[in-house]
Amino acid sequence: METLKMDRRFFESTRGRIVTILRGSTCTVEQLAAQLELTDNAVRAHLLTLERDGLVRQSGVRRGLRKPHFTYSLTPEAEGLFPKAYDALLNQLIAVLKNRLSPVQIEEVLREVGRHVASDAGPETGEADLESRLQSALKVLEAIGGAAVVEEHEDKIVICSSGCPLAAVVAVHPEVCQLAETLIREIVKVPVTEHCDRAGAPKCRFEINL
């Protein structure tokens, strides 16, 4: 919730308005100044900060009457600032599937998705040692929005997190954890058992018995 509040405040700020404008099209300093009713120098100062933060970059040059003008656009990283509807869409998709498929078929579909995500994640990890495969699994979870770590216990290895990259979906459809379980198992190449905490805000926990 705090992140949402920070995002809202950002988009209400001048820099946030610049990011929103640039999401629609590339602009010069002069074009931004006109839309924001600011001086060119004020806009340049904001762009400098946004460039430093990795959100904006110079993307080209346009001819001017007396001199060329640099154009600015968003970086790929800036897209992460904008809210996505993926959670709502995935919730609706699974709800429709539940109306059409049996629980066993739903599990098969989710696990197949997990296998496909694992296969698309990168090079084959079968020849790597377990530690390398575990690190590959963490990178894949990070790529879909997770922040997991590996904990080593006397009798097991645990991949866990204080959150869940699919929390909004798991809260409604807990079986989605089967997708992540299969994804991890396909990468680490050993049996993995899901023991996620879904009491309140979902937290990931996948156990590998030694």
- E strand or H helix at 182, and its extent? helix 177-188
Domain boundaries, the chain: 2-81, 86-209
Distance from C-alpha of 148 to C-alpha of 188, rounded to nearest angstrom: 15
Look up the pTM and report it. 0.65
- The CATH number of 2-81, from 3.50.50.60, 1.10.10.10, 3.20.20.210, 3.30.1130.10, is 1.10.10.10
Distance from C-alpha of 153 to C-alpha of 151, rounded to nearest angstrom: 7
For the domain spanning 86-209, the CATH number is: 3.30.1380.20
Which tens digit of pLDDT belongs to each residue from 161-204? 888 888 889 989 999 999 999 999 999 999 999 999 998 888 99
Which tens digit of pLDDT belongs to each residue from 108-138? 999 999 999 888 865 565 567 899 999 999 9
Between the CA of residue 68 and those of 15, 30, 43, what are the distances in Å?
24, 11, 17
| 2-81 and 86-209: identical CATH topology | no
